[in-house]
C-alpha cells in the first residue's frame, strides 16, 4: 500500500534540512523581486549591485533570493530584508544608491530603523503574525484583498522547490492520492463553488466530472496560459511567482479525470514564465510529483509545454486545441465540447492558470472554507490586473462580491491626479465599460454580466474624464478586429464595419444613424458569431452606447469630443476645450512663437470680441486640456492672450471688424454683461441695430460689479466695452426692463430680444439666524465696493464658500484692512475656485479653514456676534466625483465674527421680465431655452448667459451670446432655427516653427509676473503684471502645436 503523505513528509524533511543547512536560521536573506515587471523596473541591476556591495564589503552569511511579484507595479523594484530574530524590512522603488544604504544599515552598522510609510525607504511596523501581510507591507493596498491563488507570489522563491514545499507544497496532491477517490476530488471542487477563472465562469467541478465520465483510454488536461487581454497580466505573474501551484493543480485534475498527460499552452511572449514553469516541471519530476508512480502510487502524469504564437483567439479552447495539434488556431462550433471531443478527438479538460491555482487550497482547507468566501453564485477570490488612471496600479486578489468602488478607491487609491472617475472596463476587449452609477456593483460573474460586461480573465482598466468612451471602444474593437481569426462572417466582416463606423465618428464624420448601425451590427455579431471572441467583441461598444450615449451624440451631432481626445474632431485640445468654439489659440500662439505679434493680435481680435477680459478672468479650460501639461506644464494661454492685448493697447492697435450693410432690423439686448456684449457685437457685425438695456449705472454686468479691480481694472473693461459700442450699438444705462420700460414695448418695437440679465441674487445658507444684521452676500458686497458705494462691514469677517466669488470677496475684504477668514466644507483639492487665486489669497496672508461648515448664526439683539460651525470629514464619492463632506458629530465650535459674507451661489432675479411674459422659469429660477438655439419659446425672445445657466463662466456667457446672435439672425431672416455644428478647425494655417528639442528645452518658461503680496494686499492695484515680449515668446515656443499634428 502506497503512502503518499508519508512519502511527501520524507521529502519535506529533507528539504527543511537542506534549508537549515543553507543557513535558513542563521543568515540574512535579501529577497529581490525578479518577475518580468520587477526586472523591467531594474531589479536585475539591483541584484548585481547587492552582489557587488556584499562582495566588496566581504560580508558573509547573506543570501540573495529572488521572489515573484506581489502586485504593486508602481512601487517596483522591491527588496525585503529578513534577519533571524529581527523584524523584517521592506524597501520599495529601490535604486543603486539605496542598495548601499540597505547593506550598510542591515549588515554593517546594524542600525536600521523604521521610516514612515510611503517614503522611499518604506518599512512597516508589523509583527510576523501574518507573514504574507507583513511581507506585503502596505496595508491600505492589501487589507481588502484576500490572497488565495497569489498566496505565495512575492513570498517564495519561485525557482525553489524547497520554498514551495515550505508553504504546504504538494500536500494537496498527497492528500488526494492517499485519501480521495477520483470522484471525491471532483466532488470537492464542485462543492467549493469554484468557477472557471478564464472568463466563462463555468463550474469547474462540473467540468471535471463531465470529462471524468467520458470513457476513453486517453484524456488530456490543458492549462490555458494564453493570456492575451491588453492590460491583463495575472497569469504571467502567477506563473512567474509560484509555478508549482499550477503544476500541482494540474496533477490533481489529471488524477480526478483519469488523464495521464497535461499540456500548458503558454504564449511565447512570456519567456520568464516559461523558464520558471520548465524548471518547476523538471523539479517536480525529480521529486516524483510528476512522471511514473507519483508519490509511490500507480498514478502517472506528465506535463508538456506548448508555446503559442500569441493569437488572442487561441485563448478560446477549441482554437487552442487546434493550435496544440499544429493547425491554424481557429475555433469550432460547440458542441461537441472538448470534454467530449478535445485534443486529438479525446476528452479534454481545459482550465485557466488561475483556476488551477485554486485547486490545492480547496483540497487542503476543504471546500467549506473556500465556499465561505464570495457571493451566492460566485465563490472564492478573483485576481485582477488593475490598470489605467488609478493611483495604485497592480495585481490584486479580492473576494468575490467586493464592490467595484472598494477596488478602485480603497485598494486602487482612487483616480490619478484627482481627476474624475468615468468608467471601469472589466474583461478587457471582450468586456464592457461600467459607469459611475454602478460602482457599488458587487464583482461577481452574474452582476457584471447583467451590466453588459464580463468578469473575463481579470483585466480591469480604470478610465477618467480624459478618456473618450468612443475612442476607448474603438481601441478595443481595433484589437478584436485584428485578433479575429477570420473564420466566421459576423466577426470577420462585422467588426471591421463597426470599426469603420467608430473611426468615422471619432473623425467627426459621424451621422446620427451611425449609432443605430453600430447597435445593429453589435447585436448581430453578439448573437451570430461562432466563438466567444466574436460574441463578446461588441461589448465595449454596446456598453459605451448604453451608458455614454450622450458622448456618442456629442461626437456625431455636436462634433464635440467631451474628453478632448478625438483628433479628427478637436484639432488641438486647447481650441476644442474653449467654449467659444474656435479661440484660435494654437494659431496665435504659433504666431507669437514666430514673433509675428501684430498678426497674432489681429487673429485674436478676429476670434474673440472680449480678449482683454478673457486674458484676465477666463477660467481657461484650454490650459486644463493642454497636451504640454501632460509633459510638464500647460502652455499659459490666458497669459499669452493678455500679453497680446497689452501689446495692442500699448501700441494703440485697434481691432478692425468688418460690418455688413445695415439691415434696418432692431434687436434689444437686456443686460450688458459678457453675454449681452458678445451677442450685440456679432449682431452689429451682421448689420443689425442693437440697443443694450442695462439696469445699473455702469456697463459690464458681473465683469464690472463682481470682479474686483485688482483682477480686472475698470479702465480696461471700459476700453473693451467702448470698442464694442463703437460698432454703432446703443447703450441705455439705468434702464430696468419691467419697471422703466415694459417688456411688451420691447416686443413691439424690436425684431428680436436677447435676455442676458445675469444671476446676481445671492443664495441663502439656509441656517438659523441668517436674517441677522451683519450678513451681506458676497456679490452685493463686491458690487457696492466696485461701484464705490459705502459698505457696511465690521472688523472681523468670515466668508463662506469655495468658488471664485468667495475668493474675490475674501481678498477684497482683506484689502479693506479687515480681519477675514474663509470657511470651506471640503478641502483645497475640491475647491472650485482657481487654484492660483486661492494660492494668491494664501500668499496675501489670508486664513482659510477647510472641512468646516456653518451651523447657525449667533446674534445678540439681532446683530451677528458669532457663527457656530461644525467640522467635516470626507466620506464617500458623490455624484460630482468628489468625496462628500460629512459632519463629525460633536465637533461643533464657535467663531467670533461681526460680519458674515456667504458666497455660495447666485440665482437670477428676473421676476419683472419673466412675470406674465410667457417665459418659462426652471426651479433654479433660470429662463428655460432651447439648449442649442437659445430660443426661449416665446415669439422673438432669446436668452443666454447666467440668466439661463445660473452662475457660470465668462466664456460660457460669451458662447451663449455668440450662439444667440447666430440664431437671432436666422430668426429675423425667417430661416429655420437649426444650429449647424462642425469639427474644430485651426483659425488659421500657421507654419510650425522648426526647432530642435534642445533649442526648446534651453528656453526658460516664466511664471506670470505678479505684484508682491506686500505691495498689493492693502490696495486694488492689478496683481498680475503681464508677460514681457521675451517671456511670451519663450512660452509660445513651448507649444506643441497640436493643430499641426496628423489627424490620424
* Chain residues in the site for another protein (CB under 8 A): 311, 313, 328, 330, 332-333, 335, 481-497, 500-501, 517, 520-521, 524, 526-530, 535
- Give the integer Cα–Cα distance in Å for 394 and 387: 7
Pick between residue 506 and residue 608 the one whose CB is nearest to another protein: 506
CA torsion 115→117→121→127, rounded to 10°? 70
Pick between residue 501 and residue 855 the one whose CB is nearest to another protein: 501
Name the minimum Å distance from CB 537 to another protein.
10
Pick between residue 485 and residue 806 the one whose CB is nearest to another protein: 485
Pick between residue 328 and residue 764 the one whose CB is nearest to another protein: 328
Whether 673 contacts 701, CB under 8 Å: yes
Phi-psi domain of 1034 (left: phi exceeds 0; alpha: psi -120 through 50; beta: other)? alpha
Name the minimum Å distance from CB 484 to another protein.
4
Burial (CB < 10 A; 0-12, 13-18, 19+), residue 416, is: middle
* Chain centroid, CA 859 distance in Å: 46
Name the minimum Å distance from CB 267 to another protein.
15
Element (H, E) at 872: strand 863-877
- Grid cell, residue 300, equals 502517472
Pick between residue 462 and residue 525 the one whose CB is nearest to another protein: 525
- Give the integer Cα–Cα distance in Å for 589 and 611: 14
Pick between residue 446 and residue 975 the one whose CB is nearest to another protein: 446
Closest of 752, 912, 370 to residue 927, by C-alpha = 912
Name the minimum Å distance from CB 489 to another protein.
5
Pick between residue 346 and residue 526 the one whose CB is nearest to another protein: 526
* E strands in 675-802: 689-693, 730-732, 752-755, 761-762, 796-800
Name the minimum Å distance from CB 476 to another protein.
14
- The span from the first CA to the last CA of the chain, in angstroms, equals 71
Angle between the N-to-C axes of helices 512-528 and 549-556, in degrees from 0 to 180, rounded to the nearest 10:
130
Residue 949: C-alpha distances to residues 709, 757, 847, 914, 962 (Å): 25, 11, 32, 16, 15
Pick between residue 386 and residue 530 the one whose CB is nearest to another protein: 530
Pick between residue 319 and residue 947 the one whose CB is nearest to another protein: 319
Pick between residue 344 and residue 893 the one whose CB is nearest to another protein: 344
Strand-pair partners of 304: 263
Name the minimum Å distance from CB 904 to another protein.
52
Closest of 623, 648, 786 to residue 711, by C-alpha = 786
Strand-pair partners of 424: 434, 462
Pick between residue 493 and residue 932 the one whose CB is nearest to another protein: 493
Name the minimum Å distance from CB 536 to another protein.
12
Pick between residue 126 and residue 475 the one whose CB is nearest to another protein: 475
Residue 618: C-alpha distances to residues 621, 622, 782 (Å): 8, 10, 19
Closest of 458, 453, 549, 464 to residue 510, by C-alpha = 549
Name the minimum Å distance from CB 529 to another protein.
8
Name the minimum Å distance from CB 534 to another protein.
10
- Give the integer Cα–Cα distance in Å for 78 and 31: 8
Name the minimum Å distance from CB 298 to another protein.
37
Whether 282 contacts 305, CB under 8 Å: no
Name the minimum Å distance from CB 450 to another protein.
14
Name the minimum Å distance from CB 270 to another protein.
21
Residues contacting 64, CB < 8 A, separation 6+: 30, 32, 47, 50, 51, 54
Pick between residue 488 and residue 699 the one whose CB is nearest to another protein: 488
Name the minimum Å distance from CB 521 to another protein.
7
Strands 730-732 and 689-693: parallel
- Give the integer Cα–Cα distance in Å for 618 and 600: 19
DSSP letters spanning 472-536:
HHHHHHHHHHHH--S-SHIIIIIHHHHHHHHHHHHTT---HHHHHHHHHHHHHHHHH-SSHHHHH
Whether 388 contacts 414, CB under 8 Å: no
Cell numbers 548585481: residue: 48
Name the minimum Å distance from CB 488 to another protein.
5
Pick between residue 319 and residue 806 the one whose CB is nearest to another protein: 319
Pick between residue 490 and residue 854 the one whose CB is nearest to another protein: 490
Angle between the N-to-C axes of helices 353-365 and 243-257, in degrees from 0 to 180, rounded to the nearest 10:
80
- Give the integer Cα–Cα distance in Å for 340 and 355: 20
Name the minimum Å distance from CB 535 to another protein.
7
Amino acid at each position: 500500500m502506497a503512502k503518499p503523505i508519508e512519502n511527501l513528509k520524507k521529502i519535506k524533511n529533507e528539504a527543511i534540512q537542506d534549508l537549515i543547512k543553507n543557513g535558513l536560521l542563521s543568515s540574512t536573506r535579501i529577497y529581490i523581486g525578479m518577475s518580468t515587471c520587477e526586472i523591467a523596473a531594474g531589479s536585475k541591476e539591483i541584484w548585481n549591485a547587492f552582489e557587488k556591495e556584499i562582495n566588496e564589503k566581504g560580508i558573509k552569511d547573506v543570501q540573495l533570493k529572488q521572489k515573484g511579484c506581489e502586485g504593486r507595479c508602481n512601487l517596483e523594484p522591491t527588496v525585503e530584508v529578513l534577519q533571524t530574530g529581527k523584524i523584517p524590512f521592506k524597501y520599495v522603488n529601490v535604486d543603486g544608491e539605496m542598495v548601499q544604504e540597505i547593506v550598510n544599515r542591515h549588515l554593517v552598522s546594524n542600525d536600521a530603523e523604521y521610516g514612515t510609510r510611503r517614503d522611499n525607504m518604506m518599512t512597516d511596523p508589523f509583527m510576523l503574525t501574518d507573514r504574507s501581510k507583513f511581507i506585503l507591507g502596505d496595508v491600505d493596498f492589501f487589507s481588502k484583498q484576500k490572497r488565495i491563488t497569489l498566496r505565495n507570489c512575492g513570498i517564495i522563491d519561485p525557482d525553489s522547490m524547497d520554498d514551495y514545499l515550505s508553504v504546504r507544497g504538494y500536500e494537496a496532491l498527497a492528500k488526494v492520492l492517499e485519501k480521495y477517490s477520483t470522484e471525491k476530488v471532483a466532488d470537492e471542487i464542485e462543492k467549493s463553488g469554484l468557477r472557471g477563472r478564464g472568463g466563462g465562469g463555468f463550474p469547474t467541478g462540473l467540468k471535471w466530472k463531465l470529462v471524468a465520465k467520458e470513457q476513453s483510454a486517453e484524456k488530456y488536461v490543458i492549462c490555458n496560459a494564453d493570456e492575451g487581454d491588453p492590460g491583463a497580466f495575472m497569469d504571467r505573474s502567477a506563473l512567474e511567482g509560484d509555478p508549482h501551484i499550477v503544476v500541482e493543480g494540474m496533477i490533481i485534475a489529471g488524477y480526478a479525470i483519469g488523464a495521464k498527460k497535461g499540456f500548458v499552452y503558454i504564449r511565447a511572449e512570456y519567456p520568464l514564465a516559461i523558464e520558471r514553469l520548465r524548471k518547476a516541471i523538471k523539479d517536480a519530476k525529480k521529486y516524483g510529483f510528476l512522471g511514473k508512480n507519483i508519490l509511490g502510487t500507480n498514478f502517472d502524469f506528465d506535463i508538456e509545454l506548448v508555446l503559442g504564437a500569441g493569437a488572442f483567439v487561441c485563448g478560446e479552447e477549441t482554437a487552442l486545441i487546434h493550435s496544440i495539434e499544429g493547425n491554424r488556431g481557429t475555433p469550432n462550433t460547440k458542441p461537441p465540447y472538448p470534454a467530449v471531443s478535445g485534443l486529438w478527438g479525446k476528452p479534454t479538460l481545459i482550465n485557466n492558470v488561475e483556476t488551477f491555482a485554486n485547486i490545492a487550497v480547496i483540497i487542503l482547507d476543504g471546500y467549506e472554507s473556500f465556499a465561505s468566501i464570495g457571493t451566492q453564485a460566485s465563490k472564492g477570490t478573483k485576481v485582477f490586473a488593475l490598470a489605467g488612471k488609478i493611483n495604485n496600479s497592480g495585481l490584486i486578489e479580492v473576494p468575490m462580491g467586493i464592490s467595484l468602488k472598494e477596488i478602485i478607491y480603497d485598494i486602487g487609491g482612487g483616480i490619478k491626479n484627482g481627476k474624475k472617475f468615468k468608467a471601469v472596463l472589466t474583461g478587457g476587449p471582450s468586456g464592457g465599460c461600467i459607469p459611475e452609477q454602478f460602482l457599488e456593483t458587487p464583482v461577481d460573474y452574474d452582476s457584471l454580466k447583467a451590466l453588459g460586461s464580463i468578469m473575463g480573465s481579470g483585466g480591469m482598466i480604470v478610465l477618467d474624464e480624459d478618456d473618450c468612451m468612443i475612442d476607448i471602444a474603438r481601441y478595443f474593437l481595433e484589437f478584436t478586429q485584428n485578433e479575429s481569426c477570420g473564420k466566421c462572417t459576423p466577426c470577420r466582416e462585422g467588426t471591421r464595419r463597426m470599426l469603420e463606423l467608430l473611426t468615422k465618428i471619432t473623425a467627426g464624420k459621424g451621422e446620427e444613424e451611425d449609432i443605430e448601425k453600430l447597435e445593429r451590427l453589435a447585436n448581430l455579431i453578439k448573437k451570430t458569431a461562432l466563438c466567444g471572441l466574436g460574441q463578446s467583441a461588441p461589448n465595449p461598444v454596446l456598453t459605451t452606447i448604453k451608458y455614454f450615449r450622450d458622448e456618442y451624440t456629442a461626437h456625431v451631432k455636436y462634433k464635440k469630443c467631451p474628453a478632448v481626445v478625438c483628433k479628427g474632431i478637436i484639432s488641438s485640445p486647447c481650441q476644442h476645450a474653449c467654449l467659444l468654439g474656435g479661440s484660435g489659440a494654437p494659431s496665435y500662439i504659433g504666431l507669437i512663437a514666430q514673433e509675428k505679434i501684430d498678426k497674432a493680435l489681429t487673429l485674436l481680435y478676429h476670434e474673440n470680441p472680449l480678449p482683454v477680459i478673457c486674458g484676465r478672468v477666463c477660467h481657461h479650460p484650454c490650459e486644463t486640456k493642454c497636451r504640454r501639461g501632460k509633459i510638464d506644464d500647460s502652455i499659459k494661454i490666458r497669459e499669452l492672450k493678455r500679453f497680446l492685448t497689452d501689446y495692442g493697447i500699448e501700441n494703440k492697435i485697434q481691432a478692425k471688424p468688418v460690418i455688413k450693410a445695415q439691415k434696418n432690423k432692431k434687436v434689444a439686448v437686456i443686460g450688458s454683461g459678457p453675454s449681452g456684449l458678445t451677442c450685440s457685437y456679432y449682431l452689429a457685425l451682421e448689420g443689425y441695430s442693437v440697443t443694450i438695456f442695462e439696469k445699473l449705472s455702469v456697463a459690464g454686468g458681473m465683469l464690472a460689479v463682481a470682479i474686483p479691480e485688482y483682477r480686472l481694472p475698470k479702465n480696461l473693461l471700459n476700453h473693451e466695452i467702448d470698442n464694442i459700442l463703437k460698432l454703432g450699438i446703443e447703450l441705455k444705462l439705468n434702464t430696468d426692463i419691467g419697471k422703466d420700460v415694459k417688456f411688451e414695448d420691447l416686443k413691439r418695437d424690436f425684431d428680436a430680444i436677447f435676455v442676458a440679465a445675469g444671476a446676481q441674487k445671492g443664495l441663502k445658507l439656509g441656517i438659523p439666524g441668517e436674517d441677522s444684521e451683519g450678513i451681506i452676500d458676497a456679490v452685493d458686497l463686491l458690487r457696492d465696493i466696485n461701484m464705490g458705494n459705502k459698505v457696511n462691514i465690521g472688523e472681523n469677517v468670515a466668508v463662506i464658500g469655495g468658488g471664485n466669488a468667495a475668493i474675490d470677496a475674501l481678498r477684497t475684504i482683506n484689502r479693506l484692512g479687515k480681519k477675514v477668514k474663509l470657511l470651506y466644507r471640503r478641502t483645497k483639492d475640491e475647491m472650485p475656485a482657481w487654484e492660483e487665486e486661492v494660492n494668491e489669497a494664501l500668499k496675501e496672508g489670508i486664513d482659510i479653514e477647510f472641512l468646516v461648515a456653518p451651523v447657525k448664526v449667533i446674534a445678540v439683539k439681532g446683530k451677528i456676534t458669532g457663527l457656530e460651525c461644525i467640522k467635516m470629514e470626507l466620506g464617500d464619492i458623490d455624484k460630482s466625483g468628489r468625496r462628500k463632506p460629512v459632519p463629525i458629530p460633536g465637533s461643533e465650535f464657535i467663531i467670533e465674527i461681526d460680519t458674515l459674507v456667504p458666497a455660495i451661489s447666485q440665482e437670477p432675479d428676473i421676476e419683472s421680465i419673466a412675470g406674465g411674459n410667457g417665459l418659462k422659469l426652471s426651479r433654479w429660477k433660470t429662463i428655460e431655452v432651447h439648449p442649442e438655439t437659445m430660443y426661449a419659446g416665446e415669439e422673438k425672445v432669446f436668452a443666454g448667459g447666467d440668466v439661463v445657466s445660473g452662475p457660470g463662466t465668462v466664456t460660457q456667457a460669451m458662447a451663449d451670446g455668440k450662439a444667440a446672435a447666430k440664431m437671432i439672425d436666422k430668426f429675423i431672416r425667417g430661416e429655420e432655427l437649426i444650429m449647424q455644428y462642425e469639427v474644430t478647425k485651426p483659425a488659421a494655417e500657421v507654419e510650425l516653427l522648426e526647432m530642435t528639442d534642445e533649442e526648446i528645452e534651453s528656453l526658460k518658461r516664466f511664471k506670470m509676473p505678479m505684484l508682491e503680496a506686500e505691495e498689493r494686499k492693502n490696495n486694488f492695484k492689478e496683481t498680475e503684471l503681464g508677460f514681457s515680449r521675451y517671456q511670451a515668446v519663450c512660452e509660445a515656443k513651448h507649444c506643441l502645436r497640436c493643430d499641426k499634428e496628423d489627424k490620424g
